[in-house]
Amino acid sequence: MKRNAKSKKTVIFDLWETLIFGAKDSAISRFYENVTNTKIAESALKSGMLIKESDPRPFLSQFLEIVESPSGLSSMLLSLKNPRSPLYERIVERFNEAVEEDFKEMRWVPGAIELLIKLKNHYSLVLVSNLWAYQKRYVLERLNLAKYFDKCLFSCDLGINKNTILQDITRILGIEKKDALFVGRSYEYDIIPAVNANISAVRISGETNIILPEKLATQIREELDGAMAGDIFYKKADKKNKKECLVVIPPFYKLLGSHNNRLNLSASSISTSLSIMGYQSHVYHCDSEPHENYINRYQMMFNSISFYEAMEKESSYDEFASYYQSNVCEIVFVTCGDILNPSVDSGNWDSARKIAKIVRKINPSAYIIAIGPEILDTSEDFDLIIFGEVESLLPAIMKKEIRGRVTGMLLTEERLKGLPTYHFENIVTPVSPPSLDTVIWRRGCTGTCDFCRVAQINKGTIRYRSIDSVIEDIRLRYEQYGLKNFYIVDANFTVHRELVLSFCERLRKEFSDIQWRTESRFDTLDVELIREMKRSGCTHLKLGLENTLNEKHQVKTKRISLDYASEWIKTVQGIGIKCIIYLMLGGKWFTSDQYKKMYENAETLNADGYTVSLYNPYPNTPAGLSYEEWRMRRFTGSHLDIRLIDFWKIPIDIVDAFFSLELKKGREDRNVRNFDD
């Protein structure tokens, strides 16, 4: 076969779930059940699928004549035939609504279009599907099937089902079965019928919906031609705006009734890395608002009960869809949590999936990548799912469009130090300057807390940015946006004594009028360091204690006695830095008496502020749940998920007492932002 000549051989594809998803053939079933309160018999469904009439009125008339006639069905049938009936228009209208509902989420499976394009110049492509007649118009128009297939064989056109079509494929198409190959996903409904029809078959398998175009095209070529595919399938289709990328931060806090103006640090790092590689990237922050007014965390916890209902109503999804419709690009990154700052609430998988679905429906050929610590084990619209740091994978992502589920390698300290400052110009959503205050100091932590993503991702590996680059981050915000209040992102800021001393010295010399906050651990504190931090503008130090019952119940690598913690809190306060304590409820099924003791101990610590969270058993962490149980319980991914109160059986009065303590003290940034009481 000549390389550019089209073979006489044929690749036959199934449609539903193999190449597209989101559309189910249930409109007629739901319509019938709503009208009659009974389910349609299986035999009627099989017969109805062979009806050729596609217009709703004649289709319904023929279908209702096939099915058994429960009470009220005869009057409906008569109304369909008589324009004078009050139901004449309403019946069709209701049916059309059911059909539209089925098809509004219809979209291509990731990789499907690229696979078809790879195959089209080499083989005849045929689509075989059981299809209701009323579905045909939607499928043909919305999927533009004529662009990809030489022939579409539908049960409603031929009056026979898919299995019979496969049996009669020689008569229908005039091809030899030995020159045909069937491709499907279902073993029972695709592969077995093809083999029974004496047609070779290839099954698309795997844990995700993703099609791997190059791999599958090679497999098809080997099956049909008995030869390696060589490089004929490896030529990339030219894509519009190939040099442009979009990084999307989905709504999360907005689904809790608030918002989040801070930029995902992973998104900014990816954007910077892409710029170095010569790609133009834009960042769309769905979760932000151009103001600094927020609700308090206690109210967010109450709002979390309606998290998934809010996802259906949240307007920022439509706003993003409108933006992307006008600014389509082929490569889209969607964050789900922040891999560089995973100690905070920042992502939900269902919200990220909804963004990907919007992209896929608008641009079926888009290459969509999920990044972040909160991605789960299902993909749907994503071509690639990455757990871990992303920068080292960017060359393969941009040039090869790798697919599947992979783990990104940690960026080396040398490369980390070489990343330039992120300048914010490519953010296409409104920016609120006070929320540009986050500056990342390093990646990783020496801690191995079993509930934390930091330990899971970095496994104790620490890599520092250069002090010069951190200073440049501060300078940019100071000079361009007038910021004088910063948050240094580091879960254990005081662990590297000499670096902290050098950093504080630079701050005193170059930014004598700024203030800043950071986090650390009790077991790495040092009096001289804290004094230097105070001299260089540090106003608040946040320390994780988590459990205030006693050290026996704390993480084994971070067991701090309450007396030890109390002394350090007094020391920090005595130096002039306000001390904020992280507290966590749950993690074990404590008794009411134990929780009361926790509260008494927490109050006795007399910290300047408290941040209360609910222990979140993130899947894929040592202390986490299985993916299956996580999905079953519909957790949101937030440390303020009210469902966690029931999961850990935390007494209501305890929850109220701890959050009252947080509210009474107030947040460390209450002078920068406005919070509802």
Mean pLDDT by 10 residues, the chain (677 residues): 64 95 76 79 87 90 76 71 80 87 89 95 95 90 94 96 96 95 95 96 82 92 76 49 86 97 93 93 96 94 97 97 97 94 86 97 95 87 93 93 90 91 94 93 80 76 93 96 95 92 97 96 94 98 89 78 95 98 94 96 96 91 88 94 97 96 85 76
Tell the CATH superfamily of the 438-675 domain.
Aldolase class I (3.20.20.70)
Across the strands, what pairs with 247?
Answer: 283, 333
pTM: 0.91
pLDDT of 83:
81
φ/ψ bin of 376: left (φ > 0), alpha (ψ from -120 to 50), beta (otherwise): beta
Alpha-carbon span 10 to 278, nearest angstrom: 41
Give the pLDDT score at 2: 43
- The owner of tokens 């099956």 is 223
CB half-sphere exposure, 240, CA atoms < 13 A: 7
Residue 155 · residue 129 · CB < 8 Å: yes
pLDDT of res. 454: 74
Whole-number pLDDT of residue 24: 63
Residues facing residue 610 across a β-bridge: 581
- Give whole-number Cα distances, 288 to 253, 352, 417, in Å: 9, 15, 29
Give the burial class of 138: count Cβ atoms within 10 A of its Cβ; 0-12 exposed, 13-18 middle, 19 or more buried. Answer: middle
Within a 10 A sphere around the Cβ of 623, how many other Cβ atoms?
Answer: 15
Which residues are within 8 A (CB) of 146 and not within 5 positions of it... i.e. 6 or more apart? 140, 152
Give the CATH fold of the 244-414 domain. Answer: Rossmann fold (3.40.50)
What are the start and end residues of each CATH 3.40.50.1000 domain in the chain? Answer: 10-18+108-225
Q: What CATH number belongs to 10-18+108-225?
A: 3.40.50.1000
Contacts of residue 479, Cβ cutoff 8 Å, sequence gap at least 6: none
CB 304 within 8 A of CB 634: no
What integer pLDDT is reported at residue 597 of this predicted model?
96
Determine the pLDDT at residue 228: 57
pLDDT at 503 (0 to 100): 97
Q: Spell out where 122-253 has E strands.
A: 124-129, 151-154, 180-184, 200-203, 244-249
Burial 246-282 (b: 16+ CB within 10 A, else e): bbbbbbbbbbbbbbbbbbbbbbbbbbbbbbeeebebb
Domain with CATH 3.40.50.2300 in the chain: 244-414
What is the Cα–Cα distance from 294 to 259, expressed in whole angstroms?
Answer: 7
